[in-house]
Structure 1
């Protein structure tokens, strides 16, 4: 039953659909996200879609948890500051650091400790780092880097810090986007190609929040390489 639960829930909510040039639904497993492009304060369509979904949920006996701000394991807030997400990541990683230390107490070799770190601890710390890595606050980045350093002392070798992992993953993701015409961001990036060089044009960033997001950050990395 546990295996079927996401499929059954997806089937149950499949009849609520919507798509336009500015608003659409993104569904993945048992998660549903309403996405809207709001320009010049014109958010009527987006708000109407939200209200329609609330009404549909009520009619179909589904209770919306308005306090939940997590999407596919990533904690979100209304300012995209990522501190809440960092707190959650830190707590998970700390519990895994405990098990890493326990393994060392059993005289497990460094190679196996490194494998455990990569598969259990690093996968937690760097989950969706492409999304939040460039926009994270310095104090939050320092917390995670200190945790990585502690893990390195247990494993017995230097481990890549947050900046290094985020940079490498951004480069890889940008390359995937540029080489895959079916990727949702392919056309967006392709339009930024310069006519005079191999560089990409930097998108205009009126907000610091956007400047630190994935696309402007990965373009800066690309142009500096």
Structure 2
């Protein structure tokens, strides 16, 4: 809390650049239009200057740059230099436990969580072997395995391929056989969490996404999001509006 208070005034001054902070992890997200990176680079420089002024040191060795661009002809952008150190451009990076790829596909992230869940299934089998009560084994599954499978599920599940969903659901079915009791499917968990998150945002006027929940004149349903790509259609806000209307 003290560190959060200390860094509270470290913010972006331009609406096209967002500064995301979680404890000592900071991410700069910039919307670059017409190839003009000047505002984004200025914000990065201001961040470095703020850290220097406030006796904090940026770890440039752990700083990377990722470009998300779906145009057919992607122009080459100059390297990003921070304090005389060039940030390498990567195809994916791990952000607060979630692996984000520049093509916004989730294969790498799903491979990671399946591997982690498989390792934890061993402990589930051991608990079953020692005849622990079914209720307690189910609680262990929810806390240790389901929590891994559902990490940031509201972000990636809607855009996941059917093949990857089957891979994930096999983990749930394996746990069901070990426990000997039915477990909620990932689709059920995704739907529940999206709806819960959407209701929370809808009740919070200070949330940046609050205005996206626009009631129709009837007052019974929300205006559907205008989407032009399947990627956008399957993302959180269009899916949240759809679930609130259903």
TM-score, normalization by structure 1: 0.83
Partner of 1:132: 156
Partner of 1:62: 59
Q: How many residues align?
A: 216
Deviation at 1:143, TM superposition (A): 0.7
Partner of 1:26: 20
Moved more, 36-45 or 171-180: 36-45
Partner of 2:217: 195
Greater RCO (Cα-Cα under 8 Å, separation 6 or more):
1
Moved more, 206-215 or 34-43: 34-43
Partner of 2:105: 81
**Residue-by-residue CA offset, 1:40-73 (whole Å, 9 max, x unaligned):** 6554422443466578889946224325711111
**Secondary structure in structure 2 of the residue aligned to 1:70:** strand
TM-score, normalization by structure 2: 0.77
Deviation at 1:170, TM superposition (A): 0.6
Partner of 2:40: 46
Deviation at 1:100, TM superposition (A): 0.2
Matches within 5 A, 1:1-225: 17-39=11-33, 43-50=37-44, 60=57, 62-65=59-62, 66=64, 67=90, 69-189=93-213, 192-223=214-245, 225=246
**Secondary structure in structure 1 of the residue aligned to 2:181:** coil
**Secondary structure in structure 1 of the residue aligned to 2:158:** coil
Cα distance in structure 2, aligned partners of 1:80 and 1:218: 19
Q: Which residues of structure 1 form unaligned runs of 5+?
A: 1-5
Cα distance in structure 1, aligned partners of 2:39 and 2:238: 28
Q: 1:199 to 1:39 in 2, by over 3 A?
A: farther
Moved more, 199-208 or 35-44: 35-44
Please tell me the root mean square deviation across aligned C-alpha atoms, in Å: 2.7
Q: Which residues of structure 2 form unaligned runs of 5+?
A: 65-89
Q: Is the 8 A contact 1:10 1:29 kept in 2?
A: no
Deviation at 1:113, TM superposition (A): 0.8
**Secondary structure in structure 2 of the residue aligned to 1:76:** strand
Q: 1:146 to 1:18 in 2, by over 3 A?
A: same
Q: 1:61 to 1:71 in 2, by over 3 A?
A: closer
